[in-house]
Amino acid sequence: MSGARPDIYKEERVGACDAIISLCGCRHSAGRKCCDLFAVANGTATATAVRVVRLVLRRVILRRLLVRPSGRAAETLRPVSLSPGFARHAEGSCLIRMGSTEVLCAASVEGRVPPFLRGSGQGWVTAEYGMLPRATHTRGEREAARGRQSGRTQEIQRLIGRSLRAVIDRTALGEITVTLDCDVLNADGGTRCAAITGAWVALALACRHLQTMNVIARSPLTGQVAAVSCGLLGGEAVLDLDYQEDSTADADANFVLTDTGRLVELQGTAERAPFTETQLLALLGLARKGTEALFAAQRQVVGP
């Protein structure tokens, strides 16, 4: 037999390539095509091009086909709502809901500061964190009944306080203490992140109250702060873990960012195998996308 063997699979390869381009969401004009993809489809690509295309397509397909328990896409937040003024007696308050996680954040203002700040002309912002006994699947003992806070509680409330102090001018606040009480009503993962995001709203409303009462001349807030969790599921980066995902993730991390894109805190842990710098940057990219949505939700509630 003479001549080249007919390529009986060419039509199937080209059809698969077209389907993948559609899956990727690419839009090509009649005269422009993805060179590497079509080279692979036509059987003329170099070995390097084949490896690159396979890697890219694997990531795209896994990201599109990754089935999360909630049915969300990898880069999608849970439904978020911020309800200001929920605690009627507090100078500022917000009930934040992120999926099934609900945290009540209330800001209380006192005209005094801790001893180490007396006479300094600077104010203080601090936080307390707690969970209702049935915020979780089984009843947890009240820490007040035990007579001491757990290490987890102390760690989280210090994190909330640090995060809020990152975006406040304590000199503009004056010798005033604002305490943010963050109480978890229902826990389904990401309670500390929700507490930070909701506490900023409560703090902003408390600062506005102080301005209205002519206690301070201008808002001491220098920006916004929000937090979100990310993790690796099956090697793929996903945004805003719920409890089911968090308990089975290969790695999980909490990111606290300002609206200017700066990092306040990053907490990351490999639960199974160590993760790479590339994977960490992928998580950070998702966190930036998630916090942008949270900043927008905060602005919508608090206003200009």
Beta-carbon contacts of 194 under 8 Å, excluding residues fewer than 6 positions away, are 96, 98, 101, 102, 103, 227
pTM equals: 0.79
Q: What is the mean pLDDT of residues 80-108?
A: 97
d(CA 91, CA 208) in angstroms, rounded, equals 9
**What is the maximum alpha-carbon separation in the chain?**
99
- Domain assignments of the chain as residue spans, ordered by start: 10-26+33-65, 80-302
- Is 103 or 25 the better-scoring residue by pLDDT? 103
Q: What is the signed CA dihedral for 191, 246, 143, 117, rounded to 10 degrees?
A: -50
Digit-coded pLDDT (tens) for 143-183: 888 888 889 999 999 999 999 999 999 999 999 999 999 99
Q: In which order are the strands placed within the sheet that holds 236-239?
A: 236-239, 225-233, 251-258, 263-270
Provide the pLDDT confidence category of residue 9 given band limits of 50, 70 and 90.
very low
Q: What is the mean pLDDT of residues 214-237?
A: 95
Tell me yes or no: is domain 80-302 CATH 3.40.50.720: no
Q: Which residue has the tokens 């826990």?
A: 187
Provide the pLDDT confidence category of residue 272 given band limits of 50, 70 and 90.
confident
At 36 the pLDDT is 53
